[in-house]
Amino acid sequence: MNSRRCRLSWWVNTAIAPRSPSQPCPTPITRGVVGMMLESGQIVTTATGRRTTPFPKVTLNSPRAANSTMARVDAWLLANAVAEAEARSDRFNLLQFQAENPRGIPQASKDAMELYLFGVA
């Protein structure tokens, strides 16, 4: 049943390259939504239809691993917000996103980046 589902998702989502039988079934590319839970390696589209980079690996085995995961997620969010602002030629938001300190992004800035990526275009 699982191989049938993988084949179906491959035909539905032709942007994914053919895979060998040993590789797991790829997650289909979906439209990102504000507040959406993403899986490791998942690619979503932004409000303008641009594809994001793969979501970073999520590891919550220990407090140190959880902190590393949060840093990777923050870096992913910042990089994709900057790329989206560049793609939209939106200099106003681009300057704001580039001015953020990647080591300590405030929650309000994270919310603004998420809304910019997945909110109304």
Whether 19 and 36 share a structural domain:
no
Whether 89 and 45 share a structural domain:
yes
| 45 Cβ neighbours under 8 A, 6+ residues apart | 29, 30, 31, 32, 51, 52
Which token pair is 73?
């997620």
Whether 14 and 39 share a structural domain:
no
The fraction of the chain above a pLDDT of 90, given in percent, is 66
Whether 103 and 50 share a structural domain:
yes
Q: Whole-model pTM?
A: 0.76
Question: Which range of residues forms the domain containing residue 52?
Answer: 32-118
Compute the average pLDDT of residues 87-97: 96
In order, the DSSP letters of 40-104 are: TT--EE-TTSPBPPPPPPP--SSHHHHHHHHHHHHHHHHHHHHHHHHHHT-HHHHHHHHTS-TTS
User: How many separate domains does the chain show?
Assistant: 2
Whether 39 and 88 share a structural domain:
yes
- Residue 72 and residue 13: Cα distance in Å, rounded? 27
Compute the average pLDDT of residues 101-109: 94
Whether 49 and 79 share a structural domain:
yes
* pLDDT tens by residue, 49-58: 999 999 999 9
